[in-house]
Structure 1
Amino acid sequence: MIRNPILPGFNPDPSICRVGDDYYIATSTFEWFPGVQIHHSRDLVHWRLLARPLVRASQLDMRGDPDSCGVWAPCLSHDGARFHLIYTDVKRYGRTTMGGASGASLRDFHNYLVTADRIDGDWSDPVHLNSSGFDPSLFHDEDGRKYFLNQLWDHRPGRNRFAGIVLQEYDPKEQRLTGERHLIFPGTALGLTEAPHLYRRDGWYHLIVAEGGTGWNHAVTMARSRDLLGPYEVHPDGPVLTSRDRPDAPLMRAGHADLVETPDGETYMAYLCGRPLPNRGRCVLGRETAIQPMRWGEDGWLRTIDGDAMPVAKAPAPALPTHPWPEVPPRADFDDAALPIDFQWLRTPDPDAIFSLAARPGHLRLHGRETIGSLFTQALVARRQQAFHYSARCRMDFAPHHFQQAAGLVAYYNGSKFHYLHVSHDETVGRHIRVMSALPDSPQADAFTVPVPIPDGPIELRAEVDEERLRFAWRIGDGDWQWLPERFDASILSDEATAPGAPNFTGAFIGMACQDMSGAGLHADFDWFDYRERDYAPDPEGLP
């Protein structure tokens, strides 16, 4: 059986592709570097994180990209000879200026194409295609011609910003778009039409889009036409997959889908979904990826197996040999020359500016850089939270000299939502530990716990998360754990905890950070980092 989500934690906007016996899913990474996650399966049940193709500054430089911008909605395809990856780098989401004039309608979406012979090989430098909207995809027609689609953004006053789906031919020899741009689908009354993918089957062009927004009203809509340029007839049943207005749905926020066909002709739909906390209704795991079988009816339209357009938590897998992957060790010892693949950092294509695995062998050295939450060069290395209950620990060596130097363990969503257990120093307390929280739903945006004096030497830091409850602890050497008395609200690390109008499309991370606002670049050395998913645990014994 397939158990959804197949890609837990922040893994939205799936694009699925089969090459022979191998299945690949590409998902969005937004401001996290390297760009685009590619997962691999041979049975649609077991998946592994295989590669992140955008690794060079020539391919992706997100310094200055706002939170939840950067890489949106990659499209992965194969034309029989090469892999093609289309992606958007979002440079501006829209903001209100300090003077009060609104610039929210103006957004910068740059769409690029890279190619590779091997999915886990070196990918080409990018070809810029256009900047007219987001969620691009590439359609390979049966005659060998290629067509580029994207959502069209209209910033003009009084217009529908989501102006429909446009198509234009791509010339692979010239490496550019050619001919006229055509608006092929204006969308339905659900609105917010985006995420186009095009397929050809039985003489029809089938267009799949996401509508209703990426929150609770998300839906998958389909339309078809005998002609590539339309007009496209909308599916007679309405959305083919959605959890909108369905509180009994096992997965919420279902939408943004793509299709794949097995060698036996079975069709599966990969789509994003969310699992809200039962007590708070917030999706701390972000938008995740699920998959389920679909069926083509006698009328030529696609439907869920039961015909109810409902996302499912469990689904039958195709009749393929089972292919599990080796378990990923819970502890990263930083003994290798490369960072373990589960870890990413923020924005910069120059990792040497923020960390080193060679400066102190067997350690991850973070160089103190800009403030936590910086849009440019901050030393923060983290991995996704992929379960509602987990334990995270690390061992850190850090000797700060004053209050502008800090390092520690951080539960992070973006620059305005995090809880940061950090070591610092000041002239009154000396070396100490405390928590800084950035709170998006509180009148007090930054909150600090009382500093606790600690002795010199390496320190172990610990986080325990159970749904919306986060507890922190520390210890020196092999001593007893010292628990901070506060319970922190982990539910703020979600899309739903936000100021109105701000983009929030990622998910919760847990990781390591280091800052030195003095400019001296004081480093922190991390000997290991441990992340373990577990069952629910009550508060540590003896704590209030």
Structure 2
Amino acid sequence: MSTIVNPILPGYHPDPSIVRAGEDYYIAVSTFEWFPGVQIYHSRDLANWELIGYPLTRSSQLDMIGNINSGGVWAPCLSYSNGKFYLIYTDVKSRQGAFKDTHNYLVTADKIEGPWSEPIYLNSSGFDPSLYHEEDGTKWLVNMIWDHRKGRNSFGGIVLQEYSEAEKKLVGPIRNIFKGTPLGLTEAPHIYKRNGYYYLITAEGGTGYQHAVTSARSTSLFGPYEVDPTNPILTSHPDDELQKAGHGSLVETPEGEWYMAHLCGRPVKDKKCILGRETALQKCMWTSDDWIRVDGGSGPQTEIEVPGLVAKRAVSINERDDFNSSKLDHCWNSLRRPFTEEWMSLEERTGYLRLRGQESMSSLHKQSLIARRLESLHAEIETCMEFQPDNFQQMAGLIIYYDTDDYVYLRMSHDEAKGSVLGVIQSKHGIYDELLEEEIELPVQKVYLKARLEEEWLTFYYSLDGETWERVIGDIDYSHLSDEDADYIRFTGTFVGMCVQDVSGQLKTADFDYFSYKELKKGGSEYETSSHLSGRLGRS
């Protein structure tokens, strides 16, 4: 008996869409304003998952320059039919106030690795679209519909319309097939067919602590849909280790077993989920009267035992990128724009990542920032940087980042009296602060930077030789880097990485020799552990 440990995708991996193609399983997750768009993971056993790439790698597929925080790619749906992969996704341009501008697209590929096609525009009526492939070959788009009118339910139901593959567009009438249950906030629809029933799986209750998965069924694709009498079929209870359970997606194994991928969160103090919304997996079963149930009850399980499953591989979470390749590793992401020679290079100086400073940390357009997901509440990150700032408007360093409002930044800059200096910037809810009473003078232009993260606490260090480390500042509460710590709901998670700014417009560069990411035991010691993710430093 082998065990799957949840979350299977730790750190910021929300809105999972799971599908099987032959013996292979794939999960696609939301990426919001981070580029490339949509992460795809692969597994042969449901326990061990490898990031294999991103389908949205070109600006022609995803143009997010200027997109708002927590805009961009929402809730992708990955499906497979007749030897072809289909990916539906939303590019959200606005999301506050009465209106939401949510543009839905389709791309396809013959192989999961790509190449993926140019996008086909579908509609903009709402978000969380998915594609259902009927047995007769027809294809149907379902999405929630957004109702901006005063006094109406903004989550106006689940609409269905046929997609013509020949014409590459939606055709025929639009039908509202499901208005939701009393839980409300009905979204994330997926349709499955089994034993003559069409099952409509939706997310309800909102994507916070009341989140849930609900089920309804009909003998006709067009409804009416009968609500499962035991809804919700999955939701978190107050004592569950995994909170926010919802946004479910189903997959059937070749042996006829069923599983549900869903998002969840692991809070620290004050119910703040620093890592963001993660992906977990639950085993499911069918009742004698053909309703689906989560094995073990409606609460999410942290471990599920599966007979005959290949045990997960033991992998040390100790990754170092020396930037010796001509391409960035899969783990790296940028904000809103592709990796181009305009602002980054792995070839201008061999063995280094060179970043060219452009706009500030507040920019929704051209930030020169490269980062990876934080996947553990106990971690240590380190880099070595060479930088020669000429004025105070030029800065570079190590950043812990949520969005343009919330980050903590250990950075080198220039002071007219002292020359090169090291300081710490914290932006909390958009309010700028500098945490050191006196910045540290740096006698050289090469500096080693380190951050240690232990649950909600952050400590920065620096070194001039990479051996002897000096504490810069500790006990920084960085729990404001979470979905919950904002006036308006947001959806991403904490990233750690490197960045350069030159708001003087002179495009000053900084060179990074390496980046190290280590996960730690609680209390700060290093360890080797079993990991769900393998090969995370595969090349893009």
Whether these two folds match at TM > 0.5 is: yes
Give the distance between the partners of 1:465 and 1:455, measured in 2 at CA.
27
Which residue is equivalent to 1:171?
164
Name the structure 2 match of 1:261. Answer: 252
The residue aligned with 1:38 is 40
Partner of 1:192: 185
2:452 maps to what in 1?
464
Quote the offset at 1:81 in angstroms.
1.7
Partner residue of 2:518 out of 511, 532, 538: 532
The count of aligned residue pairs is 523
Please say if 1:489 is aligned against 2:443: no
Aligned equivalents of 1:514, 1:331: Cα separation in 2: 20
**Aligned pairs (5 A) from 1:136-535:** 136-243=129-236, 246-277=237-268, 279-306=269-296, 308-317=297-306, 319-322=308-311, 324=313, 330-349=319-338, 351-440=340-429, 444-449=431-436, 450-478=438-466, 480-498=468-486, 500-501=487-488, 503-535=489-521
Task: Give the stretch that moved more between structures: 4-13 or 530-539.
Answer: 530-539
Tell me the amino acid that sits aligned with residue 162 of structure 2: E
- Alignment match of 1:6 (pick from 5, 8, 31): 8
TM-score normalized with structure 1 length: 0.94
**In structure 1, what is the Cα distance between the partners aligned to 2:276 and 2:138?**
37
Look up the match of 1:99.
none
Separation of aligned partners in 1, 2:20 and 2:473: 51
Give TM-score, length-normalised by structure 2: 0.94
What CA distance in whole angstroms lies between the structure 2 residues aligned with 1:445 and 1:407?
17
**More divergent stretch after superposition (372-381 vs 26-35):** 372-381
Instruction: Quote the Cα distance in structure 2 between the aligned partners of 1:158 and 1:402.
Output: 54
Alignment RMSD: 1.6
Q: 1:542 is matched with which residue?
A: none
Kindly indicate whether the alpha-carbon contact (under 8 Å) linking 1:44 and 1:318 is maintained by their aligned counterparts in 2. Answer: no
2:65, 2:364 within 8 Å by CA — same for their partners in 1? yes
Q: Bigger relative contact order, structure 1 or 2, given CA contacts below 8 A and separation 6+?
A: 2
- Name the SS for the 1:348 alignment partner: coil
Deviation readout 1:449-483 (Å, 9 max, x if unpaired): 23111112311000000001100011112452111
**C-alpha distance 38-178 of structure 1, shift in aligned 2 (>3 A):** same
Amino acid at match of 2:481: L
Asked whether the 8 Å contact 1:465–1:490 carries over to 2, the reply is: no
AA of the residue aligned to 1:409 = L
- The aligned counterpart of 1:98 is none
CA distance in 2, matches of 1:148, 1:522: 47
| Deviation by residue 1:341-381 (Cα, 9 ceiling, x = unmatched) | 11100001353222111111111001001001310010000
Residues 326 and 481 (structure 1), Cα distance of their counterparts in 2 relative to 1, 3 Å cut: closer
SS at the partner of 2:479?
helix
Q: Give ranges in structure 1 of 5+ residues lacking alignment.
A: 95-103, 540-544
Does the 8 Å CA contact 1:251/1:273 hold for their aligned counterparts?
Answer: yes
Instruction: Name the CA distance, whole Å, in 2 between partners of 1:348 and 1:373.
Output: 15
Query: Could you list the runs of 5+ residues in structure 2 that have no partner in the other structure?
Result: 526-540
Residues 97-135 of structure 1, C-alpha deviations (whole Å, 9 max, x = no match): xxxxxxx01111000000001101210000000000000
- Give the distance between the partners of 1:411 and 1:70, measured in 2 at CA: 21
CA spacing shift, 1:469–1:325, aligned 2, 3 Å: closer
Contact 2:420 2:445 in 1 (8 A): no
8 Å CA contact retained: 2:317, 2:519: no
Deviation at 1:238, TM superposition (A): 1.5
